Amino acid sequence: AQSVTQLGSHVSVSEGALVLLRCNYSSSVPPYLFWYVQYPNQGLQLLLKYTSAATLVKGINGFEAEFKKSETSFHLTKPSAHMSDAAEYFCAVSDDTSYDKVIFGPGTSLSVIP
């Protein structure tokens, strides 16, 4: 069964610094991959998705992620952090048996220091 790991439950960056949130998945079968963001007391919002097209995926709010099959990774980056980026970020991968079902990672809480 698929699983997702996110290295670091809490990440702090300074405003203007690079944001790097790590995600690794378990399967060797190319899956669909997603990043979601959750602001306090809200539902999750889709940031970007990889569905076997270009390996570098651009999303909303200046975020992008690169699919690396050899490393089974899908890390999320943003060149310059903004205060409004402070939120919880979830990596997710489609289930082995169904692209309709998604497995979520445990989440990384991003803090942005002024």
**Which residues bind to other proteins, rule: CB under 8 A?**
32, 34, 36, 41-46, 49, 51, 90, 94, 99-102, 104-107
What's the min distance (Å) between Cβ of 15 and other proteins? 26
Q: Of 34 and 73, which CB lies nearer to other proteins in the complex structure?
A: 34
What's the min distance (Å) between Cβ of 105 and other proteins? 7
- Beta-ladder partners of 53: none
Q: What does the angle CA 83 – CA 72 – CA 52 come to, to the nearest 5 degrees?
A: 85
Other CB atoms within a 10 A radius of the CB of residue 50 amount to 21
C-alpha–C-alpha distance, residues 45 and 66, integer Å: 19
What's the min distance (Å) between Cβ of 114 and other proteins? 26
